[in-house]
Amino acid sequence: MQIQKIILYSHSGEKRILPFELGKVNIITGESKSGKSALIEIINYCLASKGCDIPEGIIRDTVSYFAILLAFNDSETAFIARENPNIKGIQASTTVCLIRNIGENLPDLEEINSNLNVDALKDYLTRKIGISENVHVPDSLTREPLNANFKHSRFYCYQPQYLVADPYQLFYNQNKEFVPQSIKDTLPYFLGAVNENSLAIESEITQLKKLLNRLVREKRESEKIKSEGISQAFSLIDEAKEIGILEKSANPQSQKEAYTFLEYVSNWEYQPLTVKAENSALKDLIDKRGELKIDLSKISDNRKAATDYLKNSFGYSTEAKQQEIRLESINLYKDSSKDKSLCPLCDNQLVNSIPSIDSINQSLVDIREDLKFTKAESPRIQSYIDSVETQYHSVETELKRVEKSISALYVENEKARTVRDLNLRRGKIIGRVSLFLESIFIEQETESIDSKIENLKSKIIELEKTVDSDNERELLLSILNKINLQMSKWVEGLDVEYENNPIRFDINKLTMYIDSDTKPIALPQIGSGANWVAYHLLIVFALHKHFIQNNRPVPNFIIIDQPTQVYYPPEKNDNVVEVSADEIAVNKMFDFMFNVVESLTPKLQVIITDHAYLKNDRFEKSVREIWRDGLKLIPNDWTPLNGKSTVYNNLEK
């Protein structure tokens, strides 16, 4: 798989087409902030990446769709377009447009319609580049098995500007979580060190081992039950006797007899005892009790009020009668002509004159009238009090009856709860006995379990013979030795330190070592950005040469951004950048890439974006575009979606 074109669509439908030649070196040279470093992320976004790392700025503001045209080894082509996530304010579009064998007729913007999701595109690309069914099963089983897919093949295709001179990582996204382990797990497959048939066999072995462990555990449990069976059997019989399933006289004398009793318990016809529990009636009685208490309280209040009234009336009558008697005694003095300032008894002078005889007599009349009314009302009040007393005793009697009914229902419910507990206990003991007997019966199948275990062990041994992990490790080591040897030969043509020492790639640490005369030196310890760039190019090209020569399922392109960055600062505003002091080293680096691509023609495509413009025939023939004097990835007349003008200040990371 190689890249034939990159196509950008503006919001109004204009196309920006960037063509590449297949099986050759393609160079785009130009000024800073012209869009060169965005190409890797545009291609990666179109190739089913989970997120969108295309830089914010003029590109994300003006482009509607990002698209690429792919060419596969079977001559088939595929047009893939993915919408700019900024249009909908999302992290990344989850759908893409895939059109197969489109030829040179690129669709217009209005003809682009998403027809599958990103996962489906990843599956399509996985099948298309030839990744077969595979699975990596970790030895420690601490991780889930991993299937190598198209996503894992991209690690070896991109060398962004921040990566190509990084001494601490060799591959794309190696600094992200889980990616280093994914590379370690899948690279042996891409190198061809893993027999693809053996992956399925290893998966089968894993499943058989799980089944074997389960059978061994069942056998162990069955042996434990056998050793503890007799004591447990007698314990279960005692429990069955206690809850009435077995007679108290049941007393087995042997293990066989105990199992017979337990067979009876397991087959016992379970008929739950029932006791009628009137929960609704209890609620009604409690409600009625409350109503009766309220009525009784009201009647009691009425009775007290009438009684108090009667008591007060009797007291008034007594007092009024005494007053009447005192007034009647005054009737002895009927002479109203006497001097009222003298005492009628002793003729002494009074401080307060006595009332007139007429006034006293009138008071006597009034008191007698009041006494008549009080005497007339007393029988009626007494009658009312008697009726209230009768009503009170009636309600009180009904309340006592309700209280007794409630107490009776509580007793009945307690009996029902006891019966439910007994039913539950009986159900539990029957279940436990049944489980115990099933376990005992498993003992009779121990021989068949042993046979299954032996068969599984034999089958696992046979499968393990066909998949020899030691052989796979030896094959991987052999492949890596060849790659190391190739790098050690190539390094002689590059301007690096330790060019006469062997180079070694460590797949476990994902770094490179130079085996000097005294000790191995890791890549970060070598120093110099020029060395780091050179070793990055060596490992990437060596891997791709192996992939191509062994027909491994990896895309046949490499994209390298700013490989000359370590030799000179960004260019001035000259039309052509001339490398001065490091011109020889830079020419060696480009000659190396040209030589490898030509040796593998037309199997490998290399796309290079850089500031430099070298004055030699091979470089100039490989230049596809020069982004200077206003020419950039995004045309100047493209309008952002929001209509505002945008400066080219965020094109590159």
* 352 has a pLDDT exceeding 70: no
Q: Count the neighbouring beta carbons within 10 Å of the beta carbon of residue 628.
A: 18
* Dihedral angle of Cα 543, 545, 548, 550, to the nearest 10 degrees: -80
Q: At what angle do helices 196-242 and 357-444 cross, to 10 degrees?
A: 120
pLDDT digits (tens, 9 = 90+) for 358-413: 565 566 556 556 555 555 556 667 677 778 788 888 888 888 887 777 777 666 66
Sheet bearing 2-10, strands edge to edge: 15-19, 2-10, 63-71, 77-83, 95-100, 116-117
Burial 556-590 (b: 16+ CB within 10 A, else e): bbbbbbbbbbbbbeebeeeeebebeebeebbbebb
Rounded to an integer, what distance in angstroms lies between the CA atom of residue 99 and that of residue 74?
16
Q: What is the pTM of this model?
A: 0.61
Residue with tokens 């009914």, as numbered in its chain: 405
**What pLDDT is recorded for position 322?**
61
* 647 has a pLDDT exceeding 50: no
Q: What is the mean pLDDT of residues 301-315?
A: 69
Q: What is the mean pLDDT of residues 209-226?
A: 78
**What pLDDT is recorded for position 340?**
58
Domain-located, residue 181: no
- Which one has a higher pLDDT value, 178 or 377? 178
**What pLDDT is recorded for position 607?**
97
Domain-located, residue 635: yes
Domain-located, residue 205: no
**What pLDDT is recorded for position 64?**
96
**What pLDDT is recorded for position 394?**
84
Q: Mean pLDDT lowest for which of 197-211, 402-416, 611-625? A: 402-416
Burial class (CB in 10 A: 0-12, 13-18, 19+), 323: middle
* 335 has a pLDDT exceeding 90: no
Long-range (24+ apart) CB contacts under 8 A made by 117-122 are 118/48, 118/50, 118/92, 118/93, 118/94, 119/48, 121/48, 121/80, 121/96, 122/48, 122/149, 122/150, 122/151
**What pLDDT is recorded for position 141?**
46
* 17 has a pLDDT exceeding 50: yes
* 69 has a pLDDT exceeding 90: yes
**How far does Cα 154 stand from its chain's mean position?**
28
**What pLDDT is recorded for position 332?**
47
Q: What is the mean pLDDT of residues 109-127?
A: 93
**What pLDDT is recorded for position 323?**
58
Q: What is the mean pLDDT of residues 228-253?
A: 72
* 346 has a pLDDT exceeding 50: yes
At 225, the pLDDT band (50, 70, 90 cuts) reads low
Q: Which domain covers residue 304, as residue numbers? A: 279-427
* 579 has a pLDDT exceeding 80: no
**What pLDDT is recorded for position 334?**
47
- Which one has a higher pLDDT value, 79 or 328? 79
Q: What is the mean pLDDT of residues 239-247?
A: 73
Q: How far is CA 576 from CA 348, 386, 467, 618, in A?
A: 155, 128, 58, 16
Domain-located, residue 86: yes
pLDDT digits (tens, 9 = 90+) for 582-602: 788 899 999 999 999 999 999
Output the CA angle 629-630-631, nearest 5 degrees: 100
At 456, the pLDDT band (50, 70, 90 cuts) reads confident
Q: What is the mean pLDDT of residues 229-251?
A: 72
- Domains in the chain, number: 2
* Dihedral angle of Cα 101, 106, 112, 114, to the nearest 10 degrees: 30
**How far does Cα 548 stand from its chain's mean position?**
41
The phi, psi pair for 155, rounded to 5°, reads: -60, -25
Q: Do the Cβ atoms of 619 and 613 come closer than 8 Å?
A: yes
**What pLDDT is recorded for position 574?**
47
Q: Strands 623-627, 25-30: parallel, antiparallel or unpaired by DSSP?
A: parallel
**What pLDDT is recorded for position 573?**
41
Identify residue 459 by its one-letter amino acid code: K
Domain-located, residue 230: no
Boundary (domain end) residue, out of 385, 412, 427:
427
Q: Mean pLDDT lowest for which of 243-247, 433-437, 543-547, 576-580? A: 576-580
Domain-located, residue 149: no
Domain-located, residue 147: no
Boundary (domain end) residue, out of 408, 427, 446:
427
**What pLDDT is recorded for position 385?**
75
Q: How far is CA 169 from CA 160, 291, 320, in A?
A: 12, 86, 121
Q: What are the strands, taking DSSP E only, across 551-622?
A: 557-561, 605-610
**What pLDDT is recorded for position 65?**
97
Rounded to an integer, what distance in angstroms lies between the CA atom of residue 397 and that of residue 403?
10
Rounded to an integer, what distance in angstroms lies between the CA atom of residue 614 and that of residue 263?
95
Boundary (domain end) residue, out of 427, 452, 487:
427
**What pLDDT is recorded for position 9?**
96
Round the average pLDDT of the chain to a whole number and report it: 80
Q: Count the neighbouring beta carbons within 10 Å of the beta carbon of residue 453.
A: 16
**What pLDDT is recorded for position 432?**
73
* 447 has a pLDDT exceeding 90: no
* 319 has a pLDDT exceeding 70: no
At 344, the pLDDT band (50, 70, 90 cuts) reads low
At 227, the pLDDT band (50, 70, 90 cuts) reads low
At 354, the pLDDT band (50, 70, 90 cuts) reads low
What percent of the chain is helix, strand and coil (3-state, nearest 5)?
55, 10, 35
Q: What is the mean pLDDT of residues 458-484?
A: 84
Structure token pair of residue 128? 């298309």
Domain-located, residue 418: yes
pLDDT digits (tens, 9 = 90+) for 528-573: 889 999 999 999 999 999 999 999 999 999 999 999 988 866 544 4
At 7, the pLDDT band (50, 70, 90 cuts) reads very high
